[in-house]
Amino acid sequence: MKYEHKTQYYETDQMGIIHHSNYIRWFEEARVDFMDHCGFSYAQMEKDGLISPVLSVSCEYKTMTHFGDTVEIETEILKYNSVKLELSYTVRDKETGELRCIGKSSHCFLDRQGNVVSLKKGWDKYHQGFLKESVK
């Protein structure tokens, strides 16, 4: 799944390049878009009483991104077991295809009380959506 982001001036640092912290924000944008492609929105998950906090996130920077560039972020499921989800992100310049960075994030699933849940047990719509995307 690819998500597109056009860089903004406020995302740059004093050197005129995108500040490193913004890539993590882009991962989140891409993850929310990825979930839409799984057949549900993150907003709907929250309405249904399910949240998916970040357990860890990492980013390995390869080349610089500048103001005005458009990047494509490919999001893929690395691991999914109905309790935890691990995603990978590959960020490339849309025009040149040059690799900007790679990253990962891991998440679990909690109910409104903060209890860990298995999506296999009562959250089938979400479980099936992640399964569908993890077998591609």
Give DSSP secondary structure letters for 21-82. HHHHHHHHHHHHHHHHHHTS-HHHHHHTTEE--EEEEEEEE-S--BTT-EEEEEEEEEEE-S
Active-site residue identified among 13, 33, 36, 48 = 13
pLDDT digits (tens, 9 = 90+) for 3-41: 999 999 999 998 889 999 999 999 999 999 999 999 999
Higher-confidence position of 15 and 60: 60
Q: Is 48 part of the annotated catalytic residue set?
A: no
Task: Provide the pLDDT for residue 15.
Answer: 86
pLDDT digits (tens, 9 = 90+) for 77-97: 999 999 999 999 999 999 999
**Global pTM?**
0.94
Task: Provide the pLDDT for residue 47.
Answer: 96
Q: Please say if the pLDDT value at position 111 is more than 80.
A: yes
